[in-house]
Chain A
Amino acid sequence: MASVELKDLTKSFGDLTVLHNLNLTVEEGEFVALVGPSGCGKSTLLRIIAGLEEPTSGDLTMDGQWVNDLSPRERNIAMVFQSYALYPHMTVADNMGFNLRISGMGKAEIKQRVEETAEILNLSELMSRKPSQLSGGQRQRVAMGRALVRNPDVFLFDEPLSNLDAKLRVQMREEIKRLHKRVRTTSIYVTHDQIEAMTLADRIVILHGGHIQQVGTPTELYRNPANVFVAGFIGSPSMNFLDATLSTGGDRATLSLKDGQTLHCPLSDRLPAETEVTVGLRPEHLLVAPSGANDNVLHGTLELLEPTGAQNHLRVSINGSTLTAVDNTLASVTVDQPVALTIEPEKIHVFAR
Chain B
Amino acid sequence: MTDVTSNSAAAASLSAERRARRRKRAFRKALMPWLFISPYLVLFLVFTAFPLLFSVYLSFQEWNPVTGLSGMSFVGLANYAQAITDPWLWKSLYNTVWLAIATGIPQHVIAIPIAYLLVTAFRGSFRHLYTATMFIPFITSTVAISLIFYTIYSSNNGILNQWLLGLSSVPVIGALFAWVPDAMPIRWLGSSDLLKPAIAMVVIWKYTGFNIVIYSAGFLTVSKDLYDAAKVDGCNAWQQFWHVALPMIRPFIFFALTLTIIGNLQLFEEPFILTAGDSGGVSQAGLTASYYLYLVGWEWLEMGSAAAISWILFAFIALATSVHFYFNAREGLEGHN
A83 within 8 A of B: yes
Using an 8 Å CB-CB cutoff, how does the interface string of A64-100 with B read, 1 for contact, 0 for none?
A: 0000000111000111010101111110000000110
Q: Separation in Å of the A45 CB from the closest CB of chain B?
A: 15
B234 within 8 A of A: yes
In the assembled complex, which residues on chain A have CB atoms less than 8 Å from the CB atom of B337?
88, 132
CB distance A98 to B225 under 8 Å?
A: no
CB distance B225 to A85 under 8 Å?
A: yes
B231 within 8 A of A: yes
Q: Given A89-B247, A89-B248, A132-B337, are A99 and B233 also a contact pair (CB < 8 Å)?
A: yes
B226 within 8 A of A: yes
Give residues of chain A (97-129) contacting chain B, Cβ–Cβ below 8 Å: 98-99, 102-103
B29 within 8 A of A: no
Report which of B232, B235, B239, B335 forms a contact with A79, defined as CB distance below 8 A.
Answer: B232
A77 nearest CB neighbor, chain B only: B232
A47 nearest CB neighbor, chain B only: B228
Docked pose: A78 CA to B231 CA in angstroms: 10
In the assembled complex, which residues on chain B have CB atoms less than 8 Å from the CB atom of A88?
226, 248, 336-337
Docked pose: A89 CA to B242 CA in angstroms: 12
CB distance A52 to B234 under 8 Å?
A: no
* Chain B count of residues within 8 A CB distance of the other chain: 21
In the assembled complex, which residues on chain A have CB atoms less than 8 Å from the CB atom of B232?
50, 52, 72, 77-79, 99
CB distance A81 to B228 under 8 Å?
A: yes
B244 within 8 A of A: yes
A225 within 8 A of B: no
Docked pose: A204 CA to B202 CA in angstroms: 65
In the assembled complex, which residues on chain B have CB atoms less than 8 Å from the CB atom of A103?
234
B331 nearest CB neighbor, chain A only: A89
B229 within 8 A of A: yes
Give residues of chain A (161-209) contacting chain B, Cβ–Cβ below 8 Å: none
B15 within 8 A of A: no
B235 nearest CB neighbor, chain A only: A102
In the assembled complex, which residues on chain B have CB atoms less than 8 Å from the CB atom of A47?
228
A51 within 8 A of B: yes
CB distance A81 to B225 under 8 Å?
A: yes
B247 nearest CB neighbor, chain A only: A89
Q: Separation in Å of the B246 CB from the closest CB of chain A?
A: 9
CB distance A89 to B229 under 8 Å?
A: no
CB distance B226 to A99 under 8 Å?
A: no
Docked pose: A78 CA to B226 CA in angstroms: 14
Which one of A83, A85, A86 has the greatest number of beta carbons of chain B within 10 Å?
Answer: A85
CB distance A89 to B336 under 8 Å?
A: yes
B246 nearest CB neighbor, chain A only: A89
CB distance A85 to B229 under 8 Å?
A: yes
CB distance B225 to A73 under 8 Å?
A: no
In the assembled complex, which residues on chain A have CB atoms less than 8 Å from the CB atom of B230?
87
B250 within 8 A of A: yes
Give residues of chain B (199-248) contacting chain A, Cβ–Cβ below 8 Å: 223, 225-226, 228-236, 239, 243-244, 247-248
Docked pose: A83 CA to B230 CA in angstroms: 14
CB distance A87 to B226 under 8 Å?
A: yes
Docked pose: A89 CA to B234 CA in angstroms: 18
In the assembled complex, which residues on chain B have CB atoms less than 8 Å from the CB atom of A98?
233, 243
In the assembled complex, which residues on chain A have CB atoms less than 8 Å from the CB atom of B250?
89
In the assembled complex, which residues on chain B have CB atoms less than 8 Å from the CB atom of A77?
232
Docked pose: A47 CA to B227 CA in angstroms: 13
Docked pose: A73 CA to B240 CA in angstroms: 12
In the assembled complex, which residues on chain B have CB atoms less than 8 Å from the CB atom of A52?
228, 231-232
Docked pose: A89 CA to B243 CA in angstroms: 10
CB distance A102 to B248 under 8 Å?
A: no
B236 nearest CB neighbor, chain A only: A73
In the assembled complex, which residues on chain A have CB atoms less than 8 Å from the CB atom of B235?
73, 102
Docked pose: A269 CA to B181 CA in angstroms: 96
Using an 8 Å CB-CB cutoff, how does the interface string of B241-261 with A read, 1 for contact, 0 for none?
A: 001100110100000000000
In the assembled complex, which residues on chain A have CB atoms less than 8 Å from the CB atom of B225?
81, 83, 85
Give residues of chain B (241-298) contacting chain A, Cβ–Cβ below 8 Å: 243-244, 247-248, 250
Q: Separation in Å of the A337 CB from the closest CB of chain B?
A: 56
In the assembled complex, which residues on chain B have CB atoms less than 8 Å from the CB atom of A146?
229, 233
Q: Separation in Å of the B230 CB from the closest CB of chain A?
A: 8
CB distance B336 to A51 under 8 Å?
A: no
Docked pose: A52 CA to B336 CA in angstroms: 24
Q: Given A73-B236, A98-B243, A102-B239, are A85 and B231 also a contact pair (CB < 8 Å)?
A: no
Docked pose: A52 CA to B233 CA in angstroms: 12
CB distance B336 to A72 under 8 Å?
A: no
Docked pose: A52 CA to B230 CA in angstroms: 11
In the assembled complex, which residues on chain A have CB atoms less than 8 Å from the CB atom of B233?
98-99, 102, 146
B244 nearest CB neighbor, chain A only: A87
In the assembled complex, which residues on chain A have CB atoms less than 8 Å from the CB atom of B229?
79, 81, 85-87, 146
A/B interface sample: 9 pairs, CB < 8 A: A47-B228, A72-B232, A73-B235, A79-B232, A83-B225, A87-B229, A88-B336, A99-B234, A102-B235
What are the 6 tightest A-B residue pairs by CB atom distance, in nearest-first order?
Answer: A88-B336, A85-B225, A85-B229, A99-B233, A73-B234, A89-B247
- Taking Cβ atoms with an 8 Å cutoff, the residues of A that contact B are 47, 50-52, 71-73, 77-79, 81, 83, 85-90, 98-99, 102-103, 132, 146
- Taking Cβ atoms with an 8 Å cutoff, the residues of B that contact A are 223, 225-226, 228-236, 239, 243-244, 247-248, 250, 335-337
